[in-house]
Structure 1
Amino acid sequence: MKIASWNVNSLNVRLPQLQQWLAEFTPDVVGLQETKLEDHRFPDDALLEAGYRSVFHGQKTYNGVAILARGCAIEDVQVAIPGFEDTQARAIAATVGGVRIINLYVVNGQDVGTDKYAYKLRWLEAVRGWVADELQRHPKLVVLGDFNIAPDARDVHDPATWNDNHILTSTPEREALRQLLALGLHDGLRLHSEEGGIFSWWDYRQAAFRRNLGLRIDLTLVSDALRGTTVGAGIDRTPRTWERPSDHAPAFVVLD
């Protein structure tokens, strides 16, 4: 099972690219973030023609998440974080082929010390409680998405800039991610590579992609029960080379 995560940064703009990528990369399950579409505008018919069923949770202009599946039913769908009051469409979960998928579009946080930063930390705390509950019911669990957190210095192009006091790399954000991993989750990429400089996001400015000035903030986390079945993981940079790309490239993990 090939499971991927992609922040498409507007599905309305990127639908042709998504269709091309689905045909070429052939993932079995995909979590999308930043679809930026209300539910009645989600292109589920077009994706069904491409061979993918879909469930989604969206809103106009901002946020929006979805789960796509090829060849399997999508069951037991959960929209939003249970018990956490939130008007933003940032979380969705479903079971596909016996694997529980939680797809997250984590809050950016704007800047350290802001209200949005405090909201991000509260949101991550709520996610941790949700994931802990889900693990009790679904030992075979994958948590994926745009985490808006680079786990450590290997995951940023310039650790001096992206430091303990910078948004996306601050100590409280990284600690929140470590607390999530401590539940029994493993960074899929790091199960297969300790290499630095593997990024999933590059700014549109300053020729950042060509110069590989990026961050790895899109993650695929697998549970203890799936760790031994994880046979590959990585970032598919190909869609970032296309015309009018998303600023993110898909992250993926492969289960045997």
Structure 2
Amino acid sequence: MKIACWNVNSLKVRLPHLTDWLAAEQPDVVCLQETKTEDATYPRAELEAAGYHSAISGQKTYNGVAILSKSPASDVQIGIPGFEDEQKRVIAATVDGVRIVCTYFPNGQAVGSEKFEYKMRWLAALTGWLRDELTRHPQLALLGDYNIAPEDRDAHPDWKDDIHVSPPERAAFADLIALGLTDAFRMFDQPEKSWSWWDYRAGAFRRNFGLRIDHILLSAPLAARCTACTVDKAPRKLERPSDHAPVIATLS
């Protein structure tokens, strides 16, 4: 089973990239972030033609998440239960016996800002919900754009901003790991300076100036099945790309 996450930064703009990538890679499940499209304008027909069912939670211009799957998804949950939020950032569903949780974590803007406080409240609510979700679904994968580089090796040495690398954000990531989840990417030897996001500005991708902020965390039963996890940089090299690259984990 091949599962993946990809912040496409506008599904309308990136749809040709996505359908080409689906045809080439044939993942079983893909979690998309920043679809930036309302449910009424979601390209369901085009993705069905590509061989994928969709569970969606979208909004205009901002945010938006979707789970694409070759097999139909069941038990779809939109949002974090008990956490009131107009922003469409979470969708969960069960696919082939695996609980897939697709997430677009808040950016946070700047440490100490109102948006940062929202990010920390959101993270606490997510962690509390997942604690219960793991008891119901031992085979669980948490995929998405976390907007957190959890360790120093996950950020370019010259990254000077506090956001994405601050102690509170990294502590919140550690709280997710403490639930019994494993960072699939770090289960394997990886090249140094392996990122999943590069700014559009200042030739960041050409200079490989980036962050690893897109992650796949696996529950213990799924981690035991994980045989590989990689970042696919190829779509980032295309014309008009997303600023993120897909992350892919393979389960036996």
- TM-score norm. by structure 1 comes to 0.97
Amino acid at match of 2:37: L
SS of the aligned residue for 1:207 comes to coil
Deviation at 1:149, TM superposition (A): 0.2
Of the three residues 208, 211, 227, the one matched with 1:212 is 208
Amino acid at match of 2:134: L
SS of the aligned residue for 1:139 comes to coil
Aligned to 1:8: 8
Q: Deviations over 1:140-196 (max 9, x none)?
A: 00001000000111111125625xxx0100000000000011000000000112543
- TM-score norm. by structure 2 comes to 0.98
Alpha-carbon distance change, 175 to 23 in structure 1, aligned in 2, over 3 angstroms: same
Alpha-carbon distance change, 203 to 61 in structure 1, aligned in 2, over 3 angstroms: same
**Identity over aligned residues, as a percent?**
56
**CA root-mean-square deviation:** 0.9
Give, in whole Å, the separation in 2 of the partners of 1:193 and 1:126. 32
Query: 2:23 aligned with 1:27, yes or no?
Result: no
Q: How many matched pairs?
A: 252
Q: Does structure 2 retain, via aligned residues, the 8 Å contact 1:34–1:62?
A: yes
Q: Deviations over 1:187-233 (max 9, x none)?
A: 00001125431100000011110110010000000001111100000
Query: 2:121 aligned with 1:122, yes or no?
Result: yes
Aligned to 1:36: 36
Amino acid at match of 1:139: P
Structure 1 runs (4+) greater than 3 angstroms displaced: none
Of the three residues 187, 191, 209, the one matched with 1:191 is 187
Give, in whole Å, the separation in 2 of the partners of 1:48 and 1:227. 30
Give, in whole Å, the separation in 1 of the partners of 2:158 and 2:224. 32
Q: Does structure 2 retain, via aligned residues, the 8 Å contact 1:33–1:146?
A: yes
Q: Deviations over 1:82-114 (max 9, x none)?
A: 000000000000000100000000000000000
Query: 2:238 aligned with 1:242, yes or no?
Result: yes
Amino acid at match of 1:97: D
SS of the aligned residue for 1:133 comes to helix
Gaps of 5+ in 2: none
Aligned to 1:200: 196
